[in-house]
């Protein structure tokens, strides 16, 4: 089962992705998946990630061309094993299944599909969904540049 946590802001008749994280826990010390949301630079991000942890601390977080924890340069699609890449792609597909792709392509906005609104719950100006929480959601999203994250672990 893919773990999901997501928050969507209701604003001006639209429901905009503030954060969405879909992931698998693999082994006893690793998470792999995809994350999406609004970055402070005004654009919407969608990236795959591969993370290792020890206890409550991330020890590695590979995204795109860098390990965000160690600072080491990487090539994500070469340095992550194919089996893990396949799982990351499944997580990315889950995120894309929640997103109105037409709005994303036309206006660079990650908007929630109407069909997904009914499974979310209201929390102030947010619609939220979570089938699992993670203490690593916030640091993963922050490393991606996403400006919002779940408030609880």
Pull the structure tokens for residue 33: 């998946």
Residue 57 Cα to chain centre, angstroms: 18
Average of per-residue pLDDT across 26-44? 87
Check residues 52 and 100 and name the one with the higher pLDDT.
Answer: 52
Residue 69 structure tokens: 């924890």
Q: What mean pLDDT comes out for the span 37-47?
A: 81
Domain ranges of the chain: 3-144
Q: Which band of pLDDT confidence, cut at 50, 70 and 90, is reported for residue 38?
A: confident
pLDDT in tens, 105-147: 887 778 899 899 999 999 888 999 999 989 999 999 999 988 8
Using the 8-state DSSP alphabet, how is residue 73 labeled? Answer: B
The distance of Cα 124 from the centroid of its chain, to the nearest Å, equals: 21
Instruction: Count other C-beta atoms under 10 Å from residue 145's C-beta.
Output: 15
Would you put residue 71 in left (φ > 0), alpha (ψ -120 to 50) or beta?
Answer: left
- Mean pLDDT, the chain, as a whole number? 91
What sign does the CA torsion over 58, 133, 91, 149 have? negative
Token readout for 41 is 């630079």
């Amino acid at each position: 089962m893919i773990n999901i946590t997501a928050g969507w802001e209701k604003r001006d008749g639209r429901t905009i992705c503030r954060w969405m994280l879909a992931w698998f826990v693999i082994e006893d010390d690793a998470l792999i998946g995809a994350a999406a949301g609004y970055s402070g630079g005004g654009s919407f991000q969608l990236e795959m990630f591969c993370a290792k942890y020890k206890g409550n601390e991330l020890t590695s977080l590979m995204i795109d061309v860098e390990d965000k924890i160690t600072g080491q340069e990487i090539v994500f699609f070469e340095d992550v094993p194919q089996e893990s890449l396949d799982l990351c792609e499944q997580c990315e597909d889950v995120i894309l299944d929640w997103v109105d792709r037409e709005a994303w392509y036309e206006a660079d906005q990650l908007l929630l599909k109407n069909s997904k609104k009914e499974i979310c719950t209201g929390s102030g100006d947010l619609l939220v969904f979570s089938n699992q929480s993670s203490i690593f959601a916030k640091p993963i999203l922050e490393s991606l540049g996403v400006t919002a994250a779940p408030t609880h672990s």
